[in-house]
Structure 1
Amino acid sequence: MKIRKMVEADWPKVSEIYADGIASGYATFETTIPSYLDWDKAHLQQCRLVVHEKKYILGWAALSPVSSRCVYGGVAEVSVYIGKENRGLGLGSLLMKALIQQSEEIGLWTLQSGIFPENEGSIKLHEKMGFRYIGKREKVGKLHGQWKDNLLFERRSKTVGMD
């Protein structure tokens, strides 16, 4: 399995994996797959990755800006999605390691994630990768008419933003 930069031609498989996450009900507040153009606008141009085996995309990761204010220019929100048939194989760890490395190469000092409490796999992945739990937003939004909590995790770089 290898990791490479995500390109627009990957969108059909990336969006299929995203659809699996949406269908699970515990990966995102999104309820429909955005167009590639909308997804592209919402994510940083750098730090877009896919993990693949031969020509098959098994998972993806990307970063979104948390704010347009310049003071938050070094902070990004993490998205990591693994196809349902490939979960539990360590692909999330591979993607997250590469994402952390690339984020530091472009000067990001903090990565953050909001995770539904029921998404135990994502919580374990973030903890394994050095993210720390910083709090819970209770009933922060509704999904299919049900209030959802969101657990906040962050990872502070040990090399970027230390001055």
Structure 2
Amino acid sequence: MISTLTVRQAALQDMGSIIRIYNQGIEDRIATLETETKDSSYMKAWFSDHQGRFSVLVAERESEIIGWASLNPYSHRCAYSGVADLSVYIDRSYRGQGVGSFLLESLHKIAKENSFHKIVLFTFPFNQGGQSLYFKMGYRQVGVFEKQGIMNGEFIDVMIMEKLL
């Protein structure tokens, strides 16, 4: 599967696939505290904020987008301009097949080219698939925010991870 995978910069015409995959992540309740699925107007505004340093990449197999990853602003404070937040979302049918690793390899290169020295991410302690990917790609656990967010009416913990580039 990996040999037929292409990673490239996302384009506006990719928004339908990006929305579909992101909404799967929202619905599955393993990758985000977001509760409401997103529509095209939301994602077009999001995409316009992800130009330049804050890249969005897509993973494509046989002309089908099967995953995406983005570098996101970590903080508005200039002291943190070298730190990016990370998002990775893979289509349900392709999770656990190396797509995330392929995306992250490319995203790390772009992050370095855009003067980021560190990437941080927030994940759930129960998201074993995500953690396996991040540890494999050289991220380390920094800590856990206890009862950081609410999911399905209950407080849940959020794990912080980082990678120095």
The answer to whether the superposition gives a TM-score over 0.5 is: yes
The one of 122, 135, 156 equivalent to 2:130 is 122
**TM-score, reference length from structure 1:** 0.91
Task: Please give the alpha-carbon distance, in whole angstroms, between the structure 1 residues aligned to 2:116 and 2:51.
Answer: 11
Task: Please give the alpha-carbon distance, in whole angstroms, between the structure 2 residues aligned to 1:117 and 1:4.
Answer: 30
Task: Please give the alpha-carbon distance, in whole angstroms, between the structure 2 residues aligned to 1:43 and 1:153.
Answer: 22
Alpha carbons 1:82, 1:92 under 8 Å: kept: yes
AA aligned to 1:102 is I
For structure 1, the 5+ residue unaligned runs are: 158-163
Shift of 1:96: 0.6
SS in 1 for 2:138: coil
Q: Which residue does the alignment assign to 2:107?
A: 99
Within-5 A mapping of 1:16-95? 16-32=20-36, 33=38, 35-40=42-47, 43=50, 45-46=52-53, 47-95=55-103
SS in 2 for 1:67: coil
Q: Which residue does the alignment assign to 2:7?
A: 3
Shift of 1:44: 5.2
Alpha carbons 1:44, 1:64 under 8 Å: kept: no
Shift of 1:55: 1.4
Give the ranges of 4+ consecutive aligned residues of structure 1 lying more than 3 Å apart after TM superposition.
41-46
Q: Which residue does the alignment assign to 1:153?
A: 161
Task: Please give the alpha-carbon distance, in whole angstroms, between the structure 1 residues aligned to 2:45 and 2:157.
Answer: 25
| CA deviation map 1:46-102 (0-9, x unaligned) | 421000012100100001111111010010111011000011110000001101111
Alpha carbons 2:83, 2:118 under 8 Å: kept: yes
- Identity across aligned pairs (percent)? 35
SS in 2 for 1:122: helix
Task: Please give the alpha-carbon distance, in whole angstroms, between the structure 2 residues aligned to 1:11 and 1:140.
Answer: 30
Alpha carbons 1:139, 1:149 under 8 Å: kept: yes
Shift of 1:26: 1.5
Alpha carbons 2:12, 2:44 under 8 Å: kept: no
